[in-house]
Each structure stands twice: as structure tokens, then as C-alpha cells.
Structure 1
Amino acid sequence: MTKTHDSAASESDVFERADVVADAVNVVTLREELEHWLRHRFELDSLRLNDVVLAVNEALANVAEFAYRHCDQTGTVDIRAEYERATSILTITVTDYGSWRDSSEREPRRTRGRGIPLMEALSDEVGIDAGAQGTTVCMRFGNISLSASRNGDEVATA
């Protein structure tokens, strides 16, 4: 299932992709689709745009690399970006249905593990809910403005 929608009647603007195969190729595609939506929907300078895209890319890359590594089959990822006009907050969630890294697993060299601190540095707020049914990363970005050229009644398509 893939869906994106915009609605002038709604108080929020939404970008959504669901049940996407969690692999490196699709991470690139999702990142590009989200970046396109952000560029055409919001007034973001290049630094802020890059911060949002990089933070989301980290969450997506973690899913592709880690969430399903102990599974025999390919897993999926969902991404949802929702803009609340009343608060000017963009909330982006990335959800997988795999498993969180076992705390007993340690990499021999500490060359990894920078993704979560990077997401925390790039967003205004990060929440991670990891459980038996998967993991959801929720990032919030404040002070986001709709593009002056957008009147909210166009439908975004991929």
C-alpha cells in the first residue's frame, strides 16, 4: 500500500508510504520522495531541509540494516510525515516490524552507533518506542512554514 494525501479541509498535511520493502534501494527512494514533498510543500532553507532529510535517512537506514537481520524473510518499513498547521510542527515517524538490537550484541570496534545521536541533534525532539512488535522512531521539527505558493488544495503524488 502506498499513499500520499493533502487536504485543504484538513488541519494537517500528510505524506505516507506503508509496507515498503526495507532495503537500501527503497531507503533511497523513500528519502527522495520525502525530500521532493518537503521542497514543494514547505519554506525550508537548504540547511533545515538537509537536517530533516538526514535525520529521516538515519532512521530508514537503521531499519534496512538492523530491524530484520535475524529474520529469514524481508521486512517492511512505514513512513509518515504529518504537518500540523496550528502548531507549525512537522512530525515524521518511521516504523518497522522487526527487532531492536540485542543489548548483549557488541561490535568489536566502536565505529557505528551514531545514528540516534545524529537524529537527536538534527530534530527538535526524538522518541523511540521499541517492543516485540517492532520499533517506531518519531521525530518532531518545529517552526516549519508552508510554502507561500501552496494553498493546500493540491494533491501530492509520487
Structure 2
Amino acid sequence: MAAHLVLELTAEPRAAGRVRSEVGRWLASLCGVDRACDTASDLVLAVNEAVSNSIEHAYSEEPDGTDGTVTLHAEVERPGPRVRVEVSDRGRWRDPPEDSGYRGRGLLMITACAEDVSVRPGPDGTTVTLHRTLGRCPGVCTT
């Protein structure tokens, strides 16, 4: 079981599926089980949403049509067992529209599924960092 997970993804829709699979497997390995617990599943949802937001928004207005990349760094923090996940892109920040209609709830979902969330837009891209304490899984305290 690795205490770190690093993924570099092309910012395209199929990358979100890869993130769900790999983060889910990584968290399950931390928990010492075959399938992630409910807490870890919530974290997979939050990470998926952060990656999906980068894929959809960060590069959509690039003049050359570049897809760009999304990078994920995840690690176990001590004391804990607490997980820190950072999702970053090198695209442009776009302020949400005043009326997002039926959309625009991604950050609310992330906040609901994680304990601490920060969003740092800047001239070199955006970084979303989230933390979540894992439940009392059999293997999580041994990493």
C-alpha cells in the first residue's frame, strides 16, 4: 500500500473515469480492504468533481484548442488517518455565471464530501486541495 498517489492526466472527459478507479483502488488499499468504505467513496466523489471541473473549465477557452493536463497528488497525513488530495491545472480560472441553471454545484459537492477544501486560482492555473479523515478501516492506521 502506497502512502502517495500521483496522476498526470490529459484534460479530457475519459480521464475522470481513470481518476475514480485509481483513487478508489488507492483508498481501498489504505483501508486494507478490497472496496473503499463509505468515507473513502465520498472522497472519490469529491476528487472526481474537482478533476471534472478542471477538465471542463480550465482549458475550454484556450485559443489553440489545447486540452492541457490535470495533476493529482494524494497522500496520507499524520496524525490521522487523514488524506490530503491536491488537484491542479494550468488553465484559466473562469468565474461562475450568476445563474448557473441546473449546473454549478461542483464546489458544493466537494465541500460536502470533504472536511477542508481550498480553491486557489492564479495566473498559472487553479489548485483545489481537500482533506478527509478516513474511517476506522482495518489497515488505515498501519500506513
Which category of TM-score, normalised to the shorter sequence, fits these structures?
0.7 to 0.9
Find the aligned partners of 1:101 and 1:56 in 2 and give their Cα distance. Answer: 19
Find the aligned partners of 1:150 and 1:142 in 2 and give their Cα distance. Answer: 11
Deviation digits for residues 4-41 of structure 1 (CA, Å, limit 9, x no counterpart): x83xxxxxx111112x2011111111221111111122
Query: Larger deviation: 25-34 or 137-146?
Result: 137-146
TM-score calculated relative to the size of structure 1: 0.77
**2:10 touches 2:67 (CA, 8 Å); kept in 1?**
yes
Match of 1:93 in 2: 86
Match of 2:19 among 25, 30, 46: 30
Post-superposition shift, 1:100? 1.2
Is the alpha carbon distance of 1:82 and 1:149 closer, same or farther for their aligned partners in structure 2, counting shifts above 3 Å? closer
Task: Report percent identity of matched pairs.
Answer: 29
Match of 1:41 in 2: 30
Find the aligned partners of 2:85 and 2:28 in 1 and give their Cα distance. Answer: 15
Post-superposition shift, 1:106? 4.9
Match of 1:156 in 2: none
Rg larger for: 1
TM-score calculated relative to the size of structure 2: 0.85
Whether 2:69 is the aligned partner of 1:76: answer yes
Post-superposition shift, 1:67? 0.6
Is the alpha carbon distance of 1:138 and 1:49 closer, same or farther for their aligned partners in structure 2, counting shifts above 3 Å? same
Across the two proteins, how many residue pairs are aligned to each other? 139
Whether 2:6 is the aligned partner of 1:16: answer yes
Find the aligned partners of 1:90 and 1:146 in 2 and give their Cα distance. Answer: 13
More helix by share: 2
Post-superposition shift, 1:95? 0.3
Q: CA RMSD in A?
A: 2.4
> Counterpart of 1:128 in structure 2: which amino acid?
V
> Counterpart of 2:10 in structure 1: which amino acid?
V
Tell me the secondary structure at the aligned position of residue 50 of structure 2. Answer: helix
- Any gaps of 5 or more consecutive residues in structure 2? none
